[in-house]
Amino acid sequence: MKPSGMALALYTNFLGQAPNWYKLSIIAFLFINPILFLQNPYLAGWALVVEFIFTLAMALKCYPLQPGGLLVLQAIAMGMTSTTKVMHEIEMNIEVILLLVFMVAGIHFVKDLLLFVFTKLLIRVRSKTNLSLAFVGMAAFLSAFLDALTVVAVIIAVGIGFYAIYHKISSGKKFPDPHNHNEDTEVAELSRADLDAFRGFLRNLLMHAGVGTALGGVSTMVGEPQNLIIAEAVGWGFGEFALRMAAVSVPVLIAGLLTTIVLEKFRLFDFGVRLPVAVQDVLIAYDNYQTERMTASDISKLWVQSIIAILLIVCLSLHLASVGLIGLMVIILATTFCGVTDEHAIGKAFQEALPFTSLLVVFFAVVAVIIDQHLFKPVIDFVLTFDGQQQMAVLFLANGLLSMVSDNVFVGTVYINEVKVAWQAGNISREQFEMLAIAINAGTNLPSVATPNGQAAFLFLLTSALAPLIRLSYMKMVWMALPYTIVLALVGLLSTVVLLPEVTHWMYAAGWIHHYDAAAAAAEVVTGH
């Protein structure tokens, strides 16, 4: 082969089927970054962050792992961060990685139960508004005790199940027939409009559920990983954390539910898509089909999966073990008692999670660059120049903005540590430290719904096997999340600045919470309790 032919073949293979303009963009990034790094490392760091966000935004053109991974490999090679630092970030987030590997696979083995329950819900709740509220409320409640990724994994599994059912029937096949729901070539022309509407319907429910995870995640110390770090820094237990956050979390939850009603009633921001009658008829027929052909073996599997689901919620709520280990327990129990013993059948469960797990490690490498290049330092320094309620407002907004582009755990950790240092140095009072802790928690959880990279659950949804099926792109998610972003950010900010101090003083007076006792805290440290 001629050299020119070899070069052409290499270019053709580069990022495979991605558009030419996308390939050229990535090549341009790889060419510009070293030059920029030599001139201004700080600017090069921010360029890398923007470029990585670009790869996420173009997830439907090319999975972000490859282009994002190339950019990160180059950054490490140039010295923007080190493999040691990346490994440290991985170790800090090992629970999230284990969660993705085992919990998502575990959900796969209880999908029969999930599909059974959600099919009943879908065909019996005819009001789209009520159904949307049910999804938001359910996701919020579960995310207060479970990890948001687990909740979203459940919703994704259900969404793929529903989509596959209708796609098969619209392709002229019957329920038991094998079918590839990734290809639309067999879909009947008359069914394509209903299929598009069904995609819109599923997008609505998934976005509602995704926002619901943020509404619930902000309310308790176990709702999000950064909440645990904040609670530990301040010294609050589960009950005190929930009480102190209530001044923000309750108004935000009410505002979120009202936003859902408005969006669905007035069909704004691509919401309000109704379930087509043809699709509903197929789901009813599928439910009848399943019920009629259900054997004693099938019923026993549903009962086993129900018990496992209850056990899962109990274990996660009481934090009996790491989330990933609980997921492994689900896999062992579900496969053992549902007769899944073939290695290849078990392996299918891990296909969904592993690409995203790899992408998340690349994301941790970007976080390592952010840390090593001190990209957030000017923002942090700026925030700490304010006092009192102004400081709370600026801290909330700064957290929100940074959480839209970076890992919430990292942002929350950086800010709470800086604020704790300021309190220990005597620069701020204990009361102000506690108020700022709530502002940090609210800021990292609420405005971050604006972008998929702001919420791990959103990012998981964007890069899941379901996203291309229902035409859910980065910009589509940003657009649909926009009303929620505005409402949650404004209500969260007002609640933090105006409502929080008053409610906190009232709780002190009522004896629900108590002022910080330095002597008691010191005694706990000495005794190890």
Render pLDDT for 41-88 as a digit per residue (tens, 0 to 9): 999 999 998 898 888 778 778 888 899 999 999 999 999 999 999 998
Ranges 259-268, 329-338, 477-486, 516-525: which has the least confidence: 516-525
Cα distance between the two ends of the chain: 72
Q: Which of 334, 364, 394 is the last residue of a domain?
A: 364
Query: Rg of the Cα trace of the chain?
Result: 24
Tell me the pLDDT of the chain averaged across its residues.
84
User: Which of 42-56, 88-102, 177-191, 478-492 tops mean pLDDT?
Assistant: 478-492
Containing domain of residue 97, as a range?
A: 83-109+295-364
**Residue 177: left (phi > 0), alpha (psi -120 to 50), or beta?**
beta
Residue 123 forms part of a structural domain: no
Same domain, 44 and 95: no
Amino acid letter, 373: Q
Average pLDDT over residues 309-338: 83
What is the distance between the alpha carbons of residues 78 and 465, in angstroms, rounded to a whole number?
Answer: 34
Higher pLDDT, 475 or 386: 475
Residue 31 forms part of a structural domain: yes
Higher pLDDT, 399 or 497: 497
- Supply 231's token pair: 């609670």
Answer yes or no: is pLDDT of 414 > 70.
yes
Answer yes or no: is pLDDT of 429 > 50.
yes
Answer yes or no: is pLDDT of 523 > 60.
no
Answer yes or no: is pLDDT of 233 > 90.
no
Same domain, 4 and 74: yes
Answer yes or no: is pLDDT of 39 > 50.
yes
Average pLDDT over residues 486-493: 94
Higher pLDDT, 319 or 513: 513
What is the number of domains present in the chain? 2
What is the distance between the alpha carbons of residues 283 and 240, in angstroms, rounded to a whole number?
Answer: 45
Residue 188 forms part of a structural domain: no
- pLDDT-derived band at 464 (thresholds 50, 70, 90) equals confident
Residue 329 forms part of a structural domain: yes
Same domain, 65 and 2: yes
